[in-house]
Amino acid sequence: MKFISRVLLLAFSMAMLACSTPQSEFGVYRQSDGTVGVHAPKSAKDTETQQAAVEECKKLGKRSATFVEARKTVNDRFPMTYIYVCNTY
């Protein structure tokens, strides 16, 4: 019985991990005005796009990212683009 419950717990854990969008599904880029853009798939959550932006901001020596705007695109793979400003705090 313990074995079955452990297998079910493992299966549930794997299913929860599968719900998040893989990092490779995001297209992150820097814009000329200093903001960071994140191309995101339709299934992406706001927290996931912000985390991708924060990682890019850290490469620039900043600590966080603040959401500025969201834009729809005509790209089937990335139907939304999210714009963030990098912050030092």
Q: Is 11 domain-assigned? A: no
**Count of the separate structural domains present in the chain:** 1
Owning domain of residue 33? 23-87
**What would the two tokens of residue 27 be?**
């297209």
Residues 54-87 have pLDDT tens digits of 999 999 999 999 999 999 999 888 899 999 999 9
* pTM greater than the 0.75 cutoff: no
Q: Is residue 79 part of a domain?
A: yes
Query: Residue 4: inside a domain, yes or no?
Result: no
Position 10 in a domain: no
- Which residues are CB-contacts of 42 (< 8 A; sequence separation ≥ 6)? 79, 80
Residue 74, token pair as written in the block? 């005509």
Q: Does 37 reside within a domain? A: yes
Q: How far is CA 75 from CA 29, 40, 56, in A?
A: 16, 10, 22
Instruction: Say if 5 falls within a structural domain.
Output: no
Return the higher-pLDDT residue of 77 and 13.
77
